[in-house]
Chains A and B, each alone.
Chain A
Amino acid sequence: QVQLVQSGAEVKKPGASVKVSCKASGYTFTSYYMHWVRQAPGQGLEWMGIINPSGGSTSYAQKFQGRVTMTRDTSTSTVYMELSSLRSEDTAVYYCARGTLLSWAFDIWGQGTMVTVSS
């Protein structure tokens, strides 16, 4: 079945970087965009950016420009999201979500990865 499986929870110190992985299975990896969305504790959803697994092109939300990098490995059908210069406000659950072609909707979601930033 179609699924996205993310890496496990992380605890990082302020100023560090974190890299979260999202492994896709059950469909053609390069045929769908992948988005990253985060959710701080008790807060709403926040879109971070998108990667096209086919060519690797990316687009990031203005808020994260310069701090986020999204990459992919087509040999393992895995996308990665790296966030640098972490601060306490980055404590959140990070989700990867498959983007439906042309619809800009997210039809399959990963289970989420909790990233805690604490000194």
Chain B
Amino acid sequence: QSALTQPASVSGSPGQSITISCTGTSSDVGSYNLVSWYQQHPGKAPKLMIYEVSKRPSGVSNRFSGSKSGNTASLTISGLQAEDEADYYCCSYAGSSSVVFGGGTKLTVL
């Protein structure tokens, strides 16, 4: 499968909101409500932030939210904080017991 498409970078000022898009196809994002989002700080393992499109694991700030429309999923971070600066990856179930990741988006907090 081809990787999901994410913008290479996004930026925002503290307190603002940003949205990261994740575009797939009708074979992955469009077919399943099984999109997840991961935050990765440099040199660290990824951390689950959103699963099943819009659900937040225990302990994840409610400033993080997810949604999906058609073949595109989105991650929104509201009230940007300095510690949100990281790489973000989307991921979708793609059928036949397989998964596909997005290329990643670098978030810069100005």
A59-106 residues with Cβ-Cβ distance < 8 A to B are 59, 61-62, 95, 97, 100, 103-106
B42-64 residues with Cβ-Cβ distance < 8 A to A are 45-48, 51-52, 57
A96-118 residues with Cβ-Cβ distance < 8 A to B are 97, 100, 103-107, 109-112
Give the bracket for the number of chain B residues in contact with chain A. 20 to 34
B3 to A44, Cβ gap below 8 A? Answer: yes
Report Cα–Cα, A62/B97, bound state, in Å: 11
> A112 contacts which chain B residues (CB < 8 A)?
45
Report Cα–Cα, A25/B21, bound state, in Å: 35
Choose from A61, A62, A105, A111 the contact partner of B91 (Cβ within 8 Å).
Answer: A105
B34 to A47, Cβ gap below 8 A? Answer: no
Q: Give, as a whole number of angstroms, the nearest-CB distance from B54 to chain A.
A: 12
Report Cα–Cα, A45/B51, bound state, in Å: 17
B48 to A107, Cβ gap below 8 A? Answer: yes
B46 to A109, Cβ gap below 8 A? Answer: yes
Give the bracket for the number of chain A residues in contact with chain B. 20 to 34
Offer 8 A-B interface pairs, CB within 8 angstroms, sorted by A. Answer: A37-B101, A44-B3, A45-B38, A59-B97, A103-B36, A104-B34, A105-B34, A106-B91
Residues of B bordering A, CB below 8 Å: 1, 3, 32, 34, 36, 38, 40, 45-48, 51-52, 57, 89, 91, 93, 96-104
**Contacts beyond the supplied A104-B99, A105-B51: 12 A-B pairs with Cβ under 8 Å:** A37-B46, A44-B3, A44-B104, A45-B40, A50-B99, A62-B1, A97-B46, A103-B52, A104-B34, A105-B91, A107-B57, A111-B45
Q: What are the 7 closest A-B residue pairs judged by CB atoms, nearest first? A: A105-B51, A59-B97, A105-B36, A109-B45, A104-B93, A44-B104, A47-B99
